[in-house]
Amino acid sequence: MPKERQQVLKVFISSTYVDLKDYRQVAITVVHRNGCVPMAMEFLTAQPKEPEDVCTQEIMECNIFVGIYAHRYGFVPRRGKKSITQLEYELAQAERKDCLCFIVDQDFAWKPAMCEFEKKNELDAFLNSVRERSVVAAFRHVRDFESKFATALGKLLVERLGTPEDKRHIASGGRLIPVAPTPYIAHPQAGPFLRGLAGGQTKTLMTTRLFPIPLEDIAGVQHEILRGLSPADAARFLKAERITGTRAELEHTAELYDFHPLMLKQLSSVIRRRRGKDIRDAFTLRLISGREPQKIIGKSFDLLTRDEQKIAMILSALRSSFTFQAAGALSPKMDENRLWEVLCELHQLGFLLYSENEERFDFHPIMRSFLYDKLTTKNRVHKRAAQYFDAIPKNEKVVKLEDLAPVIELYHHLIGAGQLDAARNLMEERLIPDPLYYQLSEYDVCVELLKALFPDGVKRLPHLRKETDQAWTLGALANSYSMSGQPGNGLPLYLQQIKIRDAQGDKHNVAVGLDAVACVTEFPTGRLSAAAAHSRKAIALCQQIEDSFQEAICHRELASLLAHQGTMAGPLAGVLPKRSCHRHLRYSGEAIASRDCRWRPLTVPCAPCSLPD
């Protein structure tokens, strides 16, 4: 294995932040998928430098500059006349960086709150200069931007293939191989944690697909890239696949695929199916393309029989590993013996994985993504799969996430079949809040599943018929974001939910939503004054509808907020409900804490409570 870090391309992402957060996250994800390192403000830590100095240094180090522009001009330094966003672009141009620029379509609806009308002249002048100096692409929603940016970045990386400093990276990097669409999520405190870990006296072994930027240039951190097999192992692998040739020839061929075992398996399958034996046959038969080695998967697929192609594409619609019975349910017209033969052949050719102990088949994520893209009957296959998994009896005893595999698979196929309302109902009945949320605390899984109900992105409402279902989905996703350490992503969802509940006249759920905004999103992020204001609004609503139980919960949260603010020196009459019961006092008393020992939970008796204890 190589012991020195290979050079990777660095991509600087420039834009205003508040209005383009979702677009920036998509850009970061696309950069990672192409095997490059994103340089963005999201990864910056505290530094004793001016912002423009930090940006200047990163632009000087980057290989590619990406500009994303909408209706905000951006921050202007005190001693300057141009925004940092404009200065970044001009510096990239001056340094002759490859620039990919995207400007929002003028006809695309944009929130007025995210527009800087007072700086419109400066913004227009800047964008006109961008259009004059760069080829610009117009974008609309997040998915439109993702598609255009991924295409532009991919083409640029291919064009850079001939440059000496980047040729090795692009020829062997994962970006030339289809990558499954896996989201990249980094916790905001991950950087400081890793730096602290690396700076201590411990010895830590960490395996990761992406090298963390905070660990760069830290003494004592050794980075060993494991992109694939070693050259010797790759040669042995090809010989085990009955491909002959000298060791040097085998290693040279494997290097074209960066020693990736999946690609080497496909190569050996293609050679044998074309009745070749020697590695030189791959070049004689023109099976290998030096510029586009990923095409070996397509060539291998083209050599499959019609039945093999059909079965492989159909089964790629399954989200996870599957049994022979599931494969048969999706291929009802094929005889069982013939189906087993096809599956065994696909396994031998490297298209399928098989676990003898569990008697389950599965796809490599790259292979599943490739095959699913070729499937033209997605809706029909998902409907058939949904019928199969719906018939599986409910698991009454759930102790781990794997116990929910059939119901999660059913949810996945309902989404794929376009039955989003049925998927949401299944989610509420069998997944959220219990057991995924309360029992298993699988908040990231909740986020992944719920986001499927937002095909236009989480800034738009979920595609559900009933407003009540939309509100429930918004609240569930907001809760999951907040509990997974992303309260900032949960806040706008809570506000959308409150807006729907308010239009419906559902004051109880409006109060619950306001309390959630206060204690789940604003309190953890230090916005104590805003949290206290929302908490008081919730209390006022509870008093208006005489919901004493929810009022007590809101008072508990307000008491905790005031304690953290240090403003609880006055009487508690303004914090606790006037007509308290033992249950309410217990809720409130849990949160009454202070920096000295004068505050204690109250135990004043009151009238019997009508609510069940």
Per-residue pLDDT tens for 1-60?
Answer: 333 334 568 899 999 988 898 899 889 888 887 778 888 887 765 555 666 777 888 888
Between 121 and 562, name the one with better pLDDT. Answer: 121
Say if residue 612's pLDDT is above 50. no
Average pLDDT score over the chain: 79
Say if residue 464's pLDDT is above 90. yes
Count other Cβ atoms within 10 Å, centred on residue 163: 11
Q: What would you measure as the largest C-alpha separation in the chain, in angstroms? A: 92
Token pair for 382: 């998902």
Give the model's pLDDT for residue 187: 55
Give the model's pLDDT for residue 177: 37
- 450-to-105, 458, 464 alpha-carbon distances in Å: 29, 10, 12
DSSP state of 277: -
Task: Give the mean pLDDT of 344-352.
Answer: 89
Across 359-376, b (16+ Cβ under 10 Å) vs e yields eebbbbebbbbbbbeebe
Say if residue 151's pLDDT is above 60. yes
CA separation for the pair 551, 289 (Å, rounded):
69
Task: Give the mean pLDDT of 336-357.
Answer: 90
Count other Cβ atoms within 10 Å, centred on residue 391: 10
Say if residue 408's pLDDT is above 90. yes
Give the model's pLDDT for residue 160: 65
Token pair for 370: 């490739």
Give the model's pLDDT for residue 568: 52
Element (H, E) at 157: helix 142-159
Q: How confident is the model at residue 599 (pLDDT cuts 50, 70, 90)?
A: very low
Task: Return the percentage of the chain with pLDDT > 70, whole number.
Answer: 80
CA separation for the pair 8, 223 (Å, rounded):
13
Count other Cβ atoms within 10 Å, centred on residue 313: 21
Task: Return the percentage of the chain with pLDDT > 90, whole number.
Answer: 26
CA angle 526, 527, 533 (to 5 degrees): 140
Give the model's pLDDT for residue 564: 74
CA separation for the pair 186, 184 (Å, rounded):
7
- 611-to-408, 553, 608 alpha-carbon distances in Å: 36, 14, 9
CA separation for the pair 572, 592 (Å, rounded):
9
Say if residue 185's pLDDT is above 70. no
Candidates 563, 569, 613, 565; CA nearest to 592 is 563
Give the model's pLDDT for residue 78: 76
Q: How confident is the model at residue 123 (pLDDT cuts 50, 70, 90)?
A: very high
Element (H, E) at 86: helix 84-94
Instruction: Show contacts of 31-34: CB within 8 Å, 24+ apart.
Output: 31/153, 32/184, 32/210, 33/150, 33/175, 33/179, 33/181, 34/150, 34/153, 34/154, 34/157, 34/173, 34/174, 34/175
User: At 169, which amino acid appears?
Assistant: H
Helix (H, G, I), strand (E, B) or coil at 298: helix
Please determine, looking at this structure, whether the domain spanning 10-176 carries the CATH number 2.40.110.10.
no
Q: How confident is the model at residue 581 (pLDDT cuts 50, 70, 90)?
A: very low
Burial of 79 (0-12, 13-18, 19+ CB in 10 A): exposed
Task: Give the mean pLDDT of 102-109.
Answer: 87
Say if residue 228's pLDDT is above 80. no
Give the domain ranges of the chain: 10-176, 190-227, 231-302, 306-376, 511-613
CA separation for the pair 26, 6 (Å, rounded):
25
Token pair for 340: 């087993």
Give the model's pLDDT for residue 157: 78
Task: Give the mean pLDDT of 211-227.
Answer: 68
Across 329-357, b (16+ Cβ under 10 Å) vs e yields bbbeebeeeebeebbebbeebbbbebeee
In tens, the pLDDT along 374-397 reads 999 999 999 999 999 999 888 888
Task: Give the mean pLDDT of 332-338.
Answer: 90
Torsion-angle region of residue 62: left (phi > 0), alpha (psi -120 to 50) or beta?
Answer: beta
Say if residue 179's pLDDT is above 60. no
Candidates 245, 306, 302, 316; CA nearest to 274 is 302
Strand partners of residue 67: 14, 101
pTM to 2 decimal places = 0.58
* Cis, bond preceding 433 (omega within 30 deg of 0): yes
Say if residue 591's pLDDT is above 50. no
Give the model's pLDDT for residue 384: 93
State which of 35-39, 482-486, 515-519, 601-605 shows the largest mean pLDDT.
515-519
Please determine, looking at this structure, whether the domain spanning 306-376 carries the CATH number 3.90.1150.10.
no
Residue in the block written with tokens 């291929």: 331
Across 36-66, b (16+ Cβ under 10 Å) vs e yields bbbbbeebeeeeeeeebeebbebbeebbbbb
DSSP string, 339-391: HHHHHHHHHHTTS-EEETTTTEEE--HHHHHHHHHH-S-HHHHHHHHHHHHHT
Say if residue 592's pLDDT is above 60. no
Give the model's pLDDT for residue 604: 31
Task: Give the mean pLDDT of 165-175.
Answer: 42
Give the model's pLDDT for residue 200: 67
Give the model's pLDDT for residue 315: 94
Q: How confident is the model at residue 603 (pLDDT cuts 50, 70, 90)?
A: very low
Candidates 241, 331, 333; CA nearest to 343 is 331
Give the model's pLDDT for residue 306: 92
